Structure 1
């Protein structure tokens, strides 16, 4: 059986592009026409460039007087955590600065020397973020150019990222791409994993367990809140397990029903703070990984704090 070929690009207001550059000249060759397009848009908000500090310096020099009309942000200040944190940062910026309908131009260069790209698992989470952005921001008239440094990211990451961008010719449906990432097995549960008592996790029990495994007090509190709020989203559980040592404390929630939503916990809520229906979002914001696996008619949700 042959695997399905690339999907047709989506027809949505969201314009999600990709540029690969190798060196300063290629970066400018991709960035300057994009910014010229943005600056020429009628009544548009200032375009934003999130890039390596050295590339920002290049743009300042190349733009000259136009640099004052472009917001330049070091990417180490933007990409400060997980892929879910990046989604939250992007959504917040659009809400605060884009015109009604989300119209704004963003040039975004990921930090491959930090969390993203430092391991196969981090890379998979970043590619998931790039793919799901096509669904999360589909209603918005936002134009994004994702700039990938070929020397830093490397050919495997660039090839994977192309499958998440509609303008590359090898674009894959985001749901199918996310399912492919989920097909990679998670590490097995250890034999000494601790079974939590009761039908739902108790915050104090999880907090005490995490503290005993070496998490500082504030981190243990966040982890316990994430576990309890995620469990509330899932409803009645078949059980919950704890294992690991700080910082990689893990809780796995076992649900008697499928989740069946690739965007679970990714779609930004209308309000901040844990509320009913926002538990998985909160968990994704505070945990390094939230892995959801549908297994037949059941599901497991694994939260890893660090």
Structure 2
């Protein structure tokens, strides 16, 4: 039985290379959650095959564990995963966010399928330590070396406080952002006023479905408001689904968490929060003269 005062976010990591290894890591963790006084049922978010393994290993206790296929949880960008976790804690966690979560990313899907995806996932794992710091949530991130690969696992270790190579999240984010963005293509289309209607027409002409073109256009317009005043024309390039818009502000953002935290009631609009929910990638680079924000729809 676990007793005592509520603690801060407990962010752990388990690495395994077999079915038995997954069960050996997840089973005692879920048992810890089942024994936590006054805590809601623990949650396992994992591959369907691994959920079946857990149900068999849990036996009669399986009815007291919430099982969610990870393909139902990790359905979009890193910012989507942050929003989904926050919503789940609000709806299901105990006082102070108390709950135990086993969380296995989808490495055969978007997360980790490329170096670009891996960068965003590592940013998500690092920022989780800041975004959920006030919560008494206990999370075990499960990494299967058969699908995640050694480079991903090595990077993920730097985002979990229970490892010997843990890095400060802001320092790690600065390292990720030190990589320059590729230059826009020579044929990028300049747009002096990035109004939603103009961007939507452009995106539709590049092959985005009507609904997607509307979402992308709204993300661009919201970002333009958040960055105002803009320094240069917006630039648009690419073909569906990878339509891209780059905007340049005369001021720096100086906030690594920009767009990962919901806007306050006094904000002019959803801004970068909306852009991060809609777009697969939102890259921000500050320099001495302002900030560059690049949105890519998919």
TM-score range, shorter chain: over 0.9
Equivalent residue, structure 2, for 1:282: 274
Equivalent residue, structure 2, for 1:292: 284
Summarize deviations over 1:238-283 as a string: whole Å, max 9, x none.
1211111111111101000111111000113478xxx624210100
Matched, 1:243 2:237: yes
Equivalent residue, structure 2, for 1:219: 212
CA offset at residue 172 of structure 1? 0.4
1:12-91 matches, cutoff 5 A: 13-91=8-86
Contact 1:91 1:268 in 2 (8 A): no
Equivalent residue, structure 2, for 1:117: 112
Summarize deviations over 1:6-46 as a string: whole Å, max 9, x none.
xxxxxx70000000011011111111110111000001011
Equivalent residue, structure 1, for 2:294: 302
Equivalent residue, structure 2, for 1:159: 154
Q: Distance in 1 between matches of 2:236 and 2:56?
A: 53
Equivalent residue, structure 1, for 2:87: 92
Any stretches of 5+ residues in structure 1 without a counterpart?
A: 1-11
Q: So what's the TM-score if we normalise by structure 1?
A: 0.92
2:202 to 205, 209, 212: 209
Moved more, 14-23 or 259-268: 259-268
1:176 to 141, 165, 171: 171
Equivalent residue, structure 2, for 1:6: none
CA offset at residue 100 of structure 1? 2.4
1:268 to 244, 262, 267: 262
Contact 1:87 1:129 in 2 (8 A): yes
SS at 2:97 equivalent: coil
Aligned residues: 290
Matched, 1:139 2:139: no
Q: Distance in 1 between matches of 2:288 and 2:122?
A: 25
SS at 1:151 equivalent: coil
- Provide the alpha-carbon RMSD of the alignment: 1.2
CA offset at residue 214 of structure 1? 0.9
Any stretches of 5+ residues in structure 2 without a counterpart?
A: 1-6
